[in-house]
Structure formats: structure tokens, C-alpha cells
Amino acid sequence: MQAGIFRMRNKAIFFDRDGTLNVDVHYLHDPADFVWTEGSIEAIRWANAHGYLVIVVTNQSGIARGYYDERAVHRLHDWMNGELAKHGAHIDAFYYCPHHIEGKIPVYTKSCDCRKPAPGMLLKAIAEHNIDPAASFLFGDAESDIAAAENAGVKGVRYEGGSLMDCVRGAVESSAITNGNENEADTEEFCKNQRGGDSF
């Protein structure tokens, strides 16, 4: 490619991990404890098929607290992609924050710009993968996820249970129909738990 030629920016769907892609188990690090949430594999495959980079952004304070190390996080993420490959899906990149101000491991015990709601993980991914934040989404189950998305210029959508596939497809297609001008309530209508309560 010749210098100076414009390179099209990518669009991405960012996912929180615990409570969004998998059932939230405190300080999850062992694949034996991993359970996909309803529709999560299908949601990732749908995003792959529709031209979105799929990127996980996850707070992992268990590293700072000494419950597991970074190698355990990498092993779990490799396992996730191995399982997804069986279903024709994949995650393009994982970003995690190992820090916490109340940690026990000194190197990780600090405030930082990557722990959500700070946008550091998203901003790093945006820079490294040439992502257009205005064309991208973040799906997460916590207010900190939505705040991180907003701080990075990405559309944040709160996942409240039920089918993650329905949540992702509904929110993305709704945004396309309204040219990105829908209000948050309209988008999140697709992401509310229709099962009458939190099953996790």
C-alpha cells in the first residue's frame, strides 16, 4: 500500500467477560468453572459474520489480589477461543486489567487507567486495531462497562440477562435503522432479561 492512502477503519463489538459472555463466578480462572451465558456463542459468531472485530475487555482484579496469575488468564482465554472454534466463531483480541488498589501483589496494587470505568483497555484496542469508536459497541452487565464505553466514544449497551444474541443483534440493527440516533432506552429494550429474574 502506498504511503498516504487512506486505510478504512474497522468496526468492533467489545464484550465484557464475566457476567456477559460467561456466568459470573467470582474470580473465574479455571475453564472447569466456565459456563457461557445464553446466546453468547451465537452473538460472537454473528458479530464475526457481520464484519465486526470481537474484542473482550475485562477487569481481572484477582491477579492483584493473588488468587491467580496472568498465565491463568491467558489459558482461560485460549480455552474460550478453542471452544468458539468448534462453533465457527472467534474472539479477535482480549484485553484485561490486572490492577486493584486493594491488591496483595505489589506490582499490580495501584490505581490505573485501564480498570473500567476508565477507558484505557478500549483506547488501547482502538489504537492497535484501527477501530472507529463511533461505529462500535460495547456490551456489558455493569455500569462501569457503560461508563468505560462512553469515555472511549463507543456506544455502550447494558446486558441484563436473557439471550445475548438477541441483545447484540437487536441493538446493532436498531442503531443502523436510526442511523445511530436512537436513545439508550430503545437500544436496551433488546437486552433486558425476559425470564423474570436473574438466574445467575
User: What CATH number has the domain bearing residue 92?
Assistant: 3.40.50.1000
* Cell numbers at 23, concatenated: 456466568
pLDDT at residue number 75: 98
Residue 4 covered by a domain? no
69 part of the active site: no
| Tens digit of each residue's pLDDT, the chain (200 residues) | 455 556 789 999 999 999 999 999 989 999 999 999 999 999 999 999 999 999 999 999 999 999 999 999 999 999 999 999 999 999 999 999 999 999 999 999 999 999 999 999 999 999 999 999 999 999 999 999 999 999 999 999 999 999 999 999 999 998 876 664 544 445 556 777 543 333 22
Q: Is residue 160 a part of any domain in this protein?
A: yes
- Residue 4 confidence (pLDDT): 53
Please say whether the beta carbons of 28 and 22 come within 8 A: yes
Task: Please indicate whether residue 92 is annotated as part of the active site.
Answer: no
198 within domain boundaries: no
Cβ–Cβ under 8 Å, residues 68 and 27: yes
DSSP 37: P
Q: Which is nearest to 105 in space by CA: 59, 60, 64?
A: 64
Supply the pLDDT for residue 2: 53
CB 140 within 8 A of CB 20: yes
pLDDT in tens, 122-144: 999 999 999 999 999 999 999 99
- Quote the cell numbers at residue 58: 475485562
DSSP secondary structure, 138-186, as one string: EEESSHHHHHHHHHHT-EEEE-BSS-HHHHHHHHHHHHHHTTT---HHH
What is the domain extent for residue 88? 13-191
Give me the number of domains the chain comprises.
1
Q: How far is the C-alpha of 199 from the C-alpha of 39, rounded, in Å?
A: 14
> DSSP letter at 110?
S
Q: Is there a domain that residue 177 lies in?
A: yes
Identify which of 56, 140, 139, 144 has the alpha carbon closest to the alpha carbon of residue 100. 144
Determine the pLDDT at residue 191: 79
pLDDT of residue 101: 97
Q: How far apart are CA 46 and CA 66, in angstroms?
A: 36
**Cβ within 8 Å of residue 103, ≥6 positions away:** 61, 63, 64, 65, 66, 109, 110
Active-site option among 16, 92, 141, 145? 16
Among residues 18, 92, 141, 145, the one annotated as catalytic is: 18
Domain assignment present for residue 183? The answer is yes
In a domain, 115, yes or no: yes
How high is the pLDDT of residue 108? 98
